[in-house]
Amino acid sequence: MNSRERFLTALNHEAPDRVPCDLGGWVTTISVIAYNSLLKELGIDREREVFDWLRQTVDPEEDILQRLGVDTRYVHAGRPRSWQFAPEQTDRGLYVVDEWGCGFVKTPTTLYYNLVDSPLAKAKIEDLDSYAWPDPCDPGLLDDVVERARKLAEEGQYAVIGDFAWETWYERAWKLRGMQQFYMDMALNRDFIHALLDKTLGLHLQFLDHVLSACGQYLDVVIQGGDLAGQQTTLMSPGDYREFVRPRQAKAIELIRRKTNARIFYHCCGAASSLIPDFIDLGIDILNPVQVRAHGMEAEGLKQRFGDKICFWGGIDSQQVLPTGSPTDVEAEVRHVLQAMAPGGGLVVCAVHNIQADVPPANVLALYDAIAKWGTYPLSLDI
């Protein structure tokens, strides 16, 4: 069984030879600091450049993916031609305005770029049409996409993942408005939120149409997302979710289904358990990152309630165990999550979100070594 077969079997809710694992996607990769420490730990004399400037993460290299036993390979969208990452030194720190007009700062003390300027903070509905939106069909976005997707699909060795969240239409909307204002508008200026989300979703659908028309047939999974929950609860009421978010998720899913047979991966951090029935209804195949330390997101409960209807992707705690635990703690956490979620397939295991800069290389190795050691079916995990 190769990686792709293993992966697809697990996604069919069947037990493959071992639990598939992941590293390298938009929200399943690793910080440049943690990655370069890992290279050093492995005695590899080179350094990797940042791939995602916003999150300061890397696109891991093939030898590392093989060393860690990773079953996925990514097709990332290219860089727009109309915009270049060119941060300026300002009194606030390194400052950059992205292709959407949002301003981000990285100070000497911060590990990544943080949103500081939201260009639509004071906008009215009538301002939206005249705003300088980025081009969702910028030819740069397809650079290397089709060639890489076709090559990976033809080789058939690894699961081919289309990393096409494009920052997500939902998160882009609040970045443009400012998070606090966005959530207040959700109660007090509802029409504006509808208009703004229509705009960002419309652009996202154009992007998806563009990119999936080019490479949809080669993909096993398409990445989508948008955080809808915090540590304790969802960020909005169930009613607001069903009014503002769900119908738009449905539109994106409908388009993806039309363009490709790939499974749909949805990234939503936090205490999202109350939304999972909606996700299942919508036809989302995979939930990521399974933030197990958030309220109501314990691995056992999720598997029991939803394990036959949706797959889980992630699950290894990054709020406590990975940054502060020992390698032995990491191994115990892996065993625990495998025990809870791996029976009968339906699990792709990796860290909850990107492996952060504070995760020591010994813990990264412990994570993937434990998956290799304990992830073989039939599982014998009793602790």
Partner 1 sequence: MENLRAAIKAGDQQAVKVELDALLGEGHTAGELLDVMIESLREVGEAFSRGEAFITQMLIAAMAMQAGSDHLGPELVKSSGGTKLGKFMIATVSGDLHDVGKNLVALVFKANGFDVVDLGVDVPASRIVAAYEEHLPDIVGLSALLTTTMPAMAEAVQAVKMRYPHVKVMVGGAPITKKYAESIGADAYAPDAAAAAEVARKLLAV
Binding interface with partner 1 (CB under 8 A): 105, 107, 109-111, 114, 116, 179-180, 183-184, 186-188, 230-237, 240, 293, 295, 318-320, 323-324, 356-358
Shortest approach of partner 1 to residue 164 CB, angstroms?
Answer: 26
At its nearest, how many Å lie between partner 1 and the CB of residue 123? 19
Integer angstrom CA distances of residue 100 from 32, 64, 166: 24, 33, 11
Task: Sort residue 49 into left (φ over 0), alpha (ψ -120 to 50) or beta.
Answer: beta
CB of 293 to partner 1, least distance (A): 8
**Which residue, 65 or 352, is less far from partner 1 as judged by CB?**
352
Least separation in angstroms between residue 318's CB and partner 1 is 7
CB-wise, 203 or 228, nearer to partner 1? 228
Nearer to partner 1, 1 or 187 (CB): 187
Residue 133 or 183 having the CB closest to partner 1: 183
- Cβ proximity to partner 1, 95 vs 374, nearer residue: 95
- Residue with smaller CB distance to partner 1, 112 or 164: 112
Q: How far is the CB of 116 from partner 1 (least distance, A)?
A: 7
Q: What is the 3-state secondary structure (H, E, C) of the chain?
A: CCHHHHHHHHHCCCCCCECCECCCCCCCCEEHHHHHHHHHHCCCCCCCCCCECCCCEECCCHHHHHHHCCCEEEEECCCCCCCCCCCEEECCEEEEECCCCCEEEECCCCCCCEEEECCCCCCCHHHHCCCCCCCCCCHHHHCCHHHHHHHHHHHCCCEEEEECCCCCHHHHHHHHHCHHHHHHHHHHCHHHHHHHHHHHHHHHHHHHHHHHHHHHHHCCEEEEECCCECCCCECCCHHHHHHHHHHHHHHHHHHHHHHCCCEEEEECCCCCHHHHHHHHHHCCCEEECCCCCCCCCCHHHHHHHHCCCCEEEEEECCCCHHHHCCHHHHHHHHHHHHHHHCCCCCEEEEECCCECCCCCHHHHHHHHHHHHHHCECCCCCCC
Least gap, CB of 93 to partner 1 (angstroms): 9
Q: How far is the CB of 291 from partner 1 (least distance, A)?
A: 9
Nearer to partner 1, 9 or 181 (CB): 181
Q: Is 105 or 250 the residue whose CB approaches partner 1 more closely?
A: 105
Residue 80 Cβ vs partner 1, minimum distance, rounded to whole Å: 25
Q: Taking Cα atoms as reference points, which of 295, 221, 207, 257 lies closest to residue 71? A: 221
Identity of the residue, 241 or 306, whose beta carbon is nearer to partner 1 in the bound complex: 241
- Nearest distance in Å: CB 45, partner 1: 26
Question: What are φ and ψ of residue 244, in 5° steps?
Answer: -95, -35
